[in-house]
Amino acid sequence: MDSKRDKASDAAANPAQLHKKMLQLLSSLWVTRAVGSFARLGLADVMEDGAQDAIAIAAARGLMPDRVYRLLRALSTVGLVAEPARGKFTLTPLGRLLGSHAPNNTKTTAVFLNDYFADMWMHLDDALAGERTGFEALKGKPFFDWLREHPDEARRFNRMMLEVHGPETPAIVAAYDFSPFEHVVDVGGGNGALLSAVLAAYPNRRGTLFDMAEAIGAAKREEGGPLPGVSFVAGDVFTTPAPAGGDVYMIRHLMHDYDDPDCVRILGNVRRAMKAEGRVLVLEAPLPSDDSPGPGRWLDLQVMVLCGGRERTVEEYAGLFSQAGLRLNRTVPTQHPAMTVVEAVAADDARA
């Protein structure tokens, strides 16, 4: 065992290996940009339609065959395509996620993360040095204010959120027992996808969706699924009183968009509205409390640069709950690696 550790230590200290590792880190941008172009140009769709030869794939999009071949050859090293014979490529299951046909595709996300979501990282220095975010340095306004002025981008952003978070929805419904609750309130629930799934699994419940007018419009069009009998409340989670009388309030991927004082305002708004015995479900992917590695540490930087938010540990969520008149009750893991149910109750609720 010690000899294995010694070998690993020797490899880490090897100057050539260190140099190689550093170049791999610095060239990660190349992969991101190549994946973005593959998605934006619709090459996965071309391949799903039957084109396998690099010449035919390029012709379908008016591109240069040799350069398309080189792109596909590079992408074969990260598992998006395979090259069983020179110049002939097949799409892998991973690559299909960048096409238009897969039900849980991530095409919009791949393009979005290569647009201004990538450009704002050029302003990481600004974010580290001052109070404004990288997005503000890039666009001149906070992200959510800018989205309100650009409805087309807001729709595209909402599509990306559906792509990123949609697979979490069945995991939440499977992991958490909603049967004790008659009235389910979704705070900042977007197009209502999560609320729709909960009501489908637990029929004959009352549902209320609380979000900005644009999101409520999408929900009424059933973009997130059927919402039979649901009440819609358009408003701001900070300034509009949360819908009263709920048995359980779901808050999915909203808290991490904001700093601590704003999160306490959101939670306090819900605490004032909920029943005394109600539950608050913060649906996030908490950071580990130890030094375990994980993607959350990078998502933490992303939300910092984008909107000034942050990822948190369970203990940090407990601290926010305490400031809002709530207390941490328990955490419920799910089968999705990016989702944990962090459950809070009223601070004066003596029940376990």
State the catalytic residues: 256
Amino acid occupying residue 231:
S
Angle, CA 280 vertex, CA 276 and CA 285 arms, to 5°: 165
Rg of the chain over Cα atoms, rounded to whole angstroms, equals 23
**Residue 348 has what DSSP assignment?**
T
- Cα 337 from Cα 321, distance rounded (Å): 23
Q: What is the 3-state secondary structure (H, E, C) of 192-243?
A: CHHHHHHHHHCCCCEEEEEECHHHHHHHHCCCCCCCCCCEEEECCCCCCCCC
* DSSP reduced 3-state for 182: coil
Which among 170, 270, 282, 151 is positioned nearest to 218, based on CA atoms?
151
Sole residue written with tokens 């666009």: 139
Q: Return d(Cα 304, Cα 132) in angstroms, integer.
A: 10
Give the list of residues 6+ apart from residue 244 with CB closer than 8 angstroms, or none. 273
CB 218 within 8 A of CB 224: yes
Helices (H) and strands (E) counted in the chain, each on its own, are 19, 9
Which residue is listed with tokens 């110049």? Answer: 87
The DSSP symbol for 56 reads H
Residue 308, class by beta-carbon neighbours within 10 Å (0-12 exposed, 13-18 middle, 19+ buried)? buried
- The one-character DSSP state at 339 is -
Q: Are strands 231-234 and 206-211 parallel, antiparallel or unpaired?
A: parallel
Contact of 256 with 312, CB cutoff 8 Å:
yes
Note whether 215 and 191 are within 8 A (CB): yes
